[in-house]
Amino acid sequence: MGNYFSSIFDRLWGINKDVRILILGLDGAGKTTILYFLKIGEVFNTNPTIGFNVETLTYKNLKLNVWDLGGQTSIRPYWRCYYANTAAVIFVIDSTDTDRIQTASKELHLMLKEEELQDAALLVFANKQDLPGALSASEVSDSLKLVDLKDRSWSIVASSAKTGEGIHEGLDWLIDVIKEEQLQ
């Protein structure tokens, strides 16, 4: 009986609703590594993702459905099949891959134009900060022209999936934004 009430309560407040988060970005950016760092708290060897990985994890009392989609050119066209009902997008940038940062920017803006993602919050990880020659978060932000974004909560965090730097910080921000939006 108690359960029943609490679930009604939860539903009223939207608390127990699964929160859908996508992790996108070019291939090799570190998306899968980040996903499993969040899930298991460890870094392990990944293979390039053919398709997607999906994991459910609870973070700060929130049940998250995290979708990590492959970033290879051949897989990017299918990202859109998974946009529906997405609360937030985590976009991962390999900060050392300066050659392709423009490609990443193009993919990012293309994605943000999608109708289904209009209400999604955006968290950008300027990843691989542990490596020498990595661009700083503000340099990445400039390249991605994040300041041009209107009507969207966004943030950029310098991170390293290898060391864990910045990951939780970024996610904390994201969760706060999501909770705020649910309460509205």
Partner 1 sequence: MSAYKKKNENDISSSSSGSEVPDKMSIYQDCLKTFNESPISPKKCRLLLAKLLNILTLEGYKKSFTTSEATTLFFSVSKLFQHQNNDSLRQMVYLVIKELSSISEDTLMVTSSIMKDIQSGDNLIKPNAVRTLTRVLDETTAFSAERLFKNCIVSPDSSVCSASLVSSYHVLPIAETTVKRYGTEAMQAIFTPKKVSTYNNNSSSSSSNNNGDEGGSKFYPQSSYMSEYHAFGLTYKLKNNDKIALMKLIQNDFNSLKNQFLKVEWIKVVGELIYKDSSLFSNFEQLLYNGLYQSYEAVKLEIAKLITTLIVDNIAPVNDQLFGSVLEVLKQFLVVPRTSTRFASVRLLNKLAMVAPTKISVCNPELESLINDKNRNISTFAITTLLKTGNSSNIASLISTINKFTHDVSDDFKIIIVDAIRTLSIKFPNEWNVILQFLIDSLKNSDGGIKFKNSVVDCLIDLVQFVPSSKESALENLCDFIEDCEYSEVLVRVLHILGDYGPTASKPSLYVRHIYNRVTLENSIIRSAAVVALSKFVIINGGNNASADPTLAKNIISLLENIKENDVDDEVRDRSAVALECIKENHPDLIKSSKTFDLSVLESKLTQYVTNHEFDSPFDTSSVPQYSEDERRALELKRKQDEINDKNSGDFSSAGKKSKKTDASTKNNGSLGASSSNTTFEQRAKIIHEYTEKLYEASIIPSDGSSKFGKLLNSCGPVPLTEPESEFVISAIKHIFQNYIVLQYNIENTLTDSAVENVQVEVNTNTNKTSNLVFDSSTIIDQLMPGANEQCYAIFEKTSESIKEEEFSNILTFVTKEIDPATQQPFAGDEGFDDEYEFDPLLLTCGDYLQPLFTADFRQDLSKLSFGDSCVYNIKENITLQQAVDKIVLNTNCLPLENTQFIMDESEKHILKLFGKSCLNDDIKIGILIKMIKSSKGIALKAEARSNDQELCSDLVNSLI
Ligand X SMILES: Nc1nc2c(ncn2[C@@H]2O[C@H](COP(=O)(O)OP(=O)(O)OP(=O)(O)O)[C@@H](O)[C@H]2O)c(=O)[nH]1
Q: Mark out the alpha helices in 14-145 (DSSP H runs).
A: 31-40, 101-112, 137-144
- Contact flags string 121-140 toward ligand X, x per CB under 6 A: ------xx-xx---------
Binding residue numbers for Mg(2+): 32, 49
Asked if 161 is part of the footprint of ligand X (rule: CB under 6 A), the reply reads yes
Asked if 49 is part of the footprint of Mg ion (rule: CB under 5 A), the reply reads yes
Residue pair 144/97 in contact by the 8 Å Cβ criterion = no
Q: Verify whether residue 102 is a known catalytic residue.
A: no
Residue pair 95/50 in contact by the 8 Å Cβ criterion = no
Cα–Cα separations (whole angstroms), residue 31 to 3, 25, 102, 181, 183:
36, 7, 18, 25, 29
**Cβ closest to ligand X, residue 49 vs residue 153:** 49
The residues in 22-51 that bind partner 1, with binding defined as CB under 8 A, are: 47-51
Count of C-beta atoms within a 10 Å radius of residue 39: 15
Tell me which residues touch partner 1 (CB under 8 A): 17-18, 20, 47-56, 65, 67, 70, 75, 78, 81-82, 84-85
Catalytic residue set: 72
